[in-house]
A and B are shown apart, each in its own frame.
Chain A
Amino acid sequence: NAGVTQTPKFRILKIGQSMTLQCTQDMNHNYMYWYRQDPGMGLKLIYYSVGAGITDKGEVPNGYNVSRSTTEDFPLRLELAAPSQTSVYFCASSSGDRAGNQPQHFGDGTRLSIL
């Protein structure tokens, strides 16, 4: 069972560069999420999606963009990387006929450093 797969696992970017963090799930889940976790802190929601073609902002969306063209994939795009975006990024998915009935399944995370 692959579950939620994130790539890459580690990445170092220079200030001003752009990149896309990939997230794929093979559980046919409708709901997908992107979080960032700063050292010693909880997770903060960046963007979420309730289904293919539908995305919305979370708590900390500035500097990021997402798309959801298929049920399986939910890439996160960083434009003009800044040191404040240094963090660990987690993608998650969940099922259920109503959001929140089931737990979120998390990927292994992408550790991103902006120098």
Chain B
Amino acid sequence: ELKVEQNPLFLSMQEGKNYTIYCNYSTTSDRLYWYRQDPGKSLESLFVLLSNGAVKQEGRLMASLDTKARLSTLHITAAVHDLSATYFCAVLPSGTYKYIFGTGTRLKVLA
């Protein structure tokens, strides 16, 4: 069974702290995506990672991809309250059009 696992599932952190969210997947893929979802809202694209070793940064967020380890990380630097949301990773297995989403990491940044 194809799986995309995120951990932690819940994360409560203080403003100013750093933390990393992990996304492990069980299939061959060189395409991984990170999305953000605010409560009751739609999904917003954060990063598209298209090759082994890909690293992308936007503001306080940085994402990386290791296709050999089947692992992506989303690193948060000096968290601020506005980053509170649920973060999803998604994988597109090689040779398919069927995206698989992780169950999400619910992040709460405390002032």
Segment of B11-19, B64-72, B75-83, B92-100 engaged in the interface with chain A = B92-100
CA distance A41 to B98 in the complex (A): 17
| Interface size of A in residues (CB-CB distance below 8 Å) | 27
Q: Indicate whether B20 reaches chain A with its CB closer than 8 angstroms.
A: no
CA distance A33 to B44 in the complex (A): 15
CB atoms of B98 and A103 under 8 A apart? no
CA distance A79 to B88 in the complex (A): 30
Whole-angstrom distance between the Cβ of A6 and the nearest chain B Cβ: 9
- 8 Å CB contacts to A: which residues of B31-80? 31, 33, 35, 41-45, 48, 50
CA distance A106 to B45 in the complex (A): 9
CB atoms of A59 and B98 under 8 A apart? yes
Question: Given A90-B43, A103-B33, do A43 and B88 touch, yes or no (CB 8 Å)?
Answer: yes
Which residues of A are found within 8 Å of B50, using beta-carbon distances? Answer: 100-101
Q: Indicate whether A50 reaches chain B with its CB closer than 8 angstroms.
A: yes
Contact of B97 among A35, A50, A106, A109 (CB under 8 A): A50
Question: Given A105-B45, A108-B42, do A99 and B97 touch, yes or no (CB 8 Å)?
Answer: yes
The 7 tightest CB contacts between A and B, nearest first, are A103-B45, A42-B101, A100-B31, A100-B92, A43-B101, A106-B42, A106-B43
